[in-house]
A and B are shown apart, each in its own frame.
Chain A
Amino acid sequence: KQEVTQIPAALSVPEGENLVLNCSFTDSAIYNLQWFRQDPGKGLTSLLLIQSSQREQTSGRLNASLDKSSGRSTLYIAASQPGDSATYLCAVRPLGQGGSEKLVFGKGTKLTVNP
């Protein structure tokens, strides 16, 4: 059974710092991995999607990497800003589900960027 873990559960950094959020998964048989952002009282917003054949994806100050063989992904945020404060979740879409779109989520890392 696929399990996704995100450590740490919470992280507090000063504004301007570069930071890395970690995600690990137990089964490397995946279609893709996604990073989401969740603001308080809101739904999830998709940030980056990395296909299983890719190593990384970039969007603005965000860069996500994928090492499928070791079951790890990182989300790098450059020059953090207070507006980046949110909970970041990663999710994998496992293979072997008959093409199912089911995602398995980690519990997230709550990021606080202090001015």
Chain B
Amino acid sequence: DIQMTQSPSTLSASVGDRVTITCRASQSISSWLAWYQQKPGKAPKVLIYKASSLESGVPSRFSGSGSGTEFTLTISSLQPDDFATYYCQQYNTHSYGFGQGTKLEIK
């Protein structure tokens, strides 16, 4: 079973900051990775799929990169609406596991 590990678990940042969240897979997943944003009491929303493809309607300040076992989600200039929890999810194998999440907090 492929394990997904995100870092950091919590990230404090300010509006306007550039932030990066990392997701590592326990074995290669090629580019089969998605990133989600979840706000309290709401369902997750997909931001990025296939490691670097921006889902329709998602602001261009979000970007993804990586392949194999290491991936990053970058927010180029944090907006107030971006403070949330972020999850990665692999879909290289039929086990569709998620990372444990990264909570992005206001500094």
A and B pair up: no
